[in-house]
Amino acid sequence: MGLAAYQLIDNAGSYLEVTRFDEKKRWIEGKFQLKAVRTGVMGYPLPLADTLVIRNGKFSFGFKRE
């Protein structure tokens, strides 16, 4: 299994929206949507490209300041 590279498709309705940001608790939440096409594996181009579609994606994570 290799590492794949993807490129976002323009005008595909992709977005990233931060819905909650708490600097004191160091927490961020949001939602996203994207459509991307595979451009290669381990740096080598592929003859056929797969498409990655994520709808109604959500994220939530903590962070630390340095």
pTM: 0.73
19, 11, 58, 59: which is closest to 35 by C-alpha?
11
Tell me: the pLDDT tens digits for 6-55? Answer: 899 988 899 999 999 999 999 999 999 999 998 887 766 666 668 999 99
Tell me the three-class secondary structure of the chain, residue by residue. Answer: CCCEEEEECCCCCCEEEEEEEECCCCEEEEEEEEEEEEEEECCECCCCCCEEEEEEEEEEEECCCC
What total number of domains does the chain contain?
1
Rounded CA-CA distance 45/61 in Å is 33
Q: Which domain holds residue 15?
A: 4-62
Residue 56 vs residue 47, higher pLDDT: 56
